[in-house]
């Protein structure tokens, strides 16, 4: 399928994707949009929200709409790495000989929901994170490649931090987005209750397939970006570093650690996908500013002064955008 046809198909289907997802998800439009963007660009997502706000339901709906196999891993403190990646098991072949056969773990799926990732031990966490980075699993010295598209949505509960193992910054950086699933509004709650009173089943239908998704991914990468916007993006990320010439005023006050270069890559890649989904063939500043929040909020580490003054990452990102935008483009 050539580019024009792919584009045409994308433009036709992108509206249907959201329509189908919204059949299972009430509200959370921004979260849904960003999750789809991450799907298209091949990025992984960290979902944070209190229990019962629809994190798992969202992942299921995305998997169904895109026609991708979905697996769920419930991370508990006793979960072993082999429980995630799979292991070699001893079995007998047709001749009755004892052989070792690799039994793939739940990670061998296109969409993996890693529920409460912060509850598992760092060792188990790293097994998943390694697979996220390399799209490959090594067991007993043998590499097993994961099928594309491979997409991990990890969740973590912002409460109940006792007995958990928070992800370190280096591993948080592997998630393209951190999406905060907020508590539904009263109107949304009403709809949710009415819907679930009728049926708890998920009714979304497949719209796209894996091949189309990969084509869309390749297509999104070709969206042009103005050099000015590229510079703006670099300045925005550099502004989070205290030793940078582009340092913002809030950086020295509240940010202990700035975002990595992966943030720049994530911003540009995601902005292209967003532009395409929006029916545009160019990245705009609005794309960058909108996506700065999910890209940066888990990549900047706040210091104690920010905690003491109850400054959130989103507040600081808003300040950074305001300050960098005010500078000459």
Token pair in block for residue 127? 């097994």
The distance of closest approach from Cβ of residue 10 to another protein in the complex, given in angstroms and rounded to an integer, is 12
Among positions 36, 223, 237, 300, the unique one binding another protein when judged by CB under 8 A: 223
Number of residues that bind another protein (CB under 8 A): 18
* Contact in structure between 224 and 283 (CB atoms under 8 Å): yes
Identify which of residues 185 and 222 has a Cβ nearer to another protein in the complex: 222
DSSP result, 155-178:
EE-SS--TT--PPPHHHHTT-SEE
Q: Which alpha helices (H) appear in the chain, and where do they start and end?
A: 3-24, 29-41, 55-65, 81-85, 122-134, 169-172, 186-198, 210-220, 227-238, 249-254, 261-277, 285-296, 304-308, 313-326
Among positions 227, 245, 326, 328, the unique one binding another protein when judged by CB under 8 A: 227
The distance of closest approach from Cβ of residue 279 to another protein in the complex, given in angstroms and rounded to an integer, is 9
- Rounded Cα distance, 125 and 114, in Å: 10
Binding status of residue 237 toward another protein by CB under 8 A: no
Identify which of residues 111 and 268 has a Cβ nearer to another protein in the complex: 268
- Rounded Cα distance, 81 and 131, in Å: 11
Q: Which long-range contacts (CB under 8 A, 24 or more apart) does 7-11 make?
A: 7/219, 9/212, 10/212, 10/216, 10/219, 10/276, 11/279
Binding status of residue 228 toward another protein by CB under 8 A: yes
Binding status of residue 6 toward another protein by CB under 8 A: no
Binding status of residue 283 toward another protein by CB under 8 A: yes
Among positions 148, 160, 286, 309, the unique one binding another protein when judged by CB under 8 A: 286
- Rounded Cα distance, 217 and 38, in Å: 10
Identify which of residues 77 and 224 has a Cβ nearer to another protein in the complex: 224
Sign of the CA dihedral with 186 first, then 159, 29, and 295 last: positive
Among positions 284, 302, 303, 315, the unique one binding another protein when judged by CB under 8 A: 284
The distance of closest approach from Cβ of residue 48 to another protein in the complex, given in angstroms and rounded to an integer, is 29
Of 263, 259, 257, which is closest to residue 303 (Cα–Cα)?
257
* Contact in structure between 68 and 210 (CB atoms under 8 Å): yes
User: What are the angstrom distances between the C-alpha of 317 and each of 54, 287, 291, 294, 296?
Assistant: 26, 14, 11, 10, 7
Among positions 72, 217, 280, 301, the unique one binding another protein when judged by CB under 8 A: 280
- Rounded Cα distance, 253 and 251, in Å: 5
Binding status of residue 3 toward another protein by CB under 8 A: yes
The distance of closest approach from Cβ of residue 286 to another protein in the complex, given in angstroms and rounded to an integer, is 6
Binding status of residue 9 toward another protein by CB under 8 A: no
Binding status of residue 5 toward another protein by CB under 8 A: no
Identify which of residues 139 and 229 has a Cβ nearer to another protein in the complex: 229
The distance of closest approach from Cβ of residue 158 to another protein in the complex, given in angstroms and rounded to an integer, is 33
Identify which of residues 225 and 264 has a Cβ nearer to another protein in the complex: 225
Binding status of residue 325 toward another protein by CB under 8 A: no
The distance of closest approach from Cβ of residue 218 to another protein in the complex, given in angstroms and rounded to an integer, is 12
The distance of closest approach from Cβ of residue 203 to another protein in the complex, given in angstroms and rounded to an integer, is 34
Binding status of residue 285 toward another protein by CB under 8 A: yes
Binding status of residue 226 toward another protein by CB under 8 A: yes
Show the CA angle centred on residue 9, arms to residues 6 and 11, nearest 5°.
110
Binding status of residue 281 toward another protein by CB under 8 A: yes
- Rounded Cα distance, 221 and 217, in Å: 7
Residue 109 backbone dihedrals phi, psi, to 5 degrees: -150, 165
Residue ranges that bind another protein, judged by CB under 8 A: 3-4, 7, 222-224, 226-229, 280-287
């Amino acid at each position: 399928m050539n580019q024009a046809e792919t584009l045409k198909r994308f433009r036709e289907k992108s509206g249907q994707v959201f329509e189908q997802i919204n059949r299972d998800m009430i509200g959370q439009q921004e979260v849904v949009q960003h999750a789809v963007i991450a799907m298209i660009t091949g990025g992984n997502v960290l979902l944070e929200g209190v229990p019962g706000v629809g994190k798992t339901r969202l992942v299921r709906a995305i998997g169904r709409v895109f026609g991708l196999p979905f697996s769920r891993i419930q991370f508990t403190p006793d979960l072993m790495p082999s429980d995630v990646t799979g292991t070699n098991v001893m079995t007998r072949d047709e001749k009755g000989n004892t052989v070792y056969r690799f039994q793939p773990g739940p990670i061998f799926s296109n969409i993996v929901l890693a529920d409460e990732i912060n509850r598992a031990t760092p060792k188990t966490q790293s097994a998943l994170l390694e697979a996220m980075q390399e799209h490959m699993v090594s067991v007993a010295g043998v590499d097993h490649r994961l099928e594309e598209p491979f997409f991990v949505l990890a969740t973590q509960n912002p409460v109940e931090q006792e007995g958990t193992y928070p992800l370190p910054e280096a591993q948080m950086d592997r998630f393209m987005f951190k999406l905060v699933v907020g508590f539904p509004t009263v109107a949304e709650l009403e709809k949710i209750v009415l819907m679930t009173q009728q049926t708890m089943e998920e009714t979304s239908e497949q719209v796209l397939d894996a091949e189309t998704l990969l084509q869309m991914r390749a297509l999104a990468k070709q969206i042009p970006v103005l050099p000015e916007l590229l510079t703006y993006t670099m300045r925005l990320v550099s502004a989070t570093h205290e030793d940078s010439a582009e340092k913002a005023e809030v950086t020295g006050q509240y940010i202990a650690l700035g975002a990595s270069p992966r943030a720049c890559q994530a911003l540009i890649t995601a902005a292209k996908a967003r532009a395409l989904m929006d029916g545009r063939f160019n990245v705009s500043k609005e794309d960058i500013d909108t996506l700065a929040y999910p890209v940066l909020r888990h990549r900047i580490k706040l210091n104690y002064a920010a905690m003491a003054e109850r400054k959130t990452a989103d507040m600081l990102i808003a300040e950074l955008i305001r300050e960098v935008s005010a500078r000459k483009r």
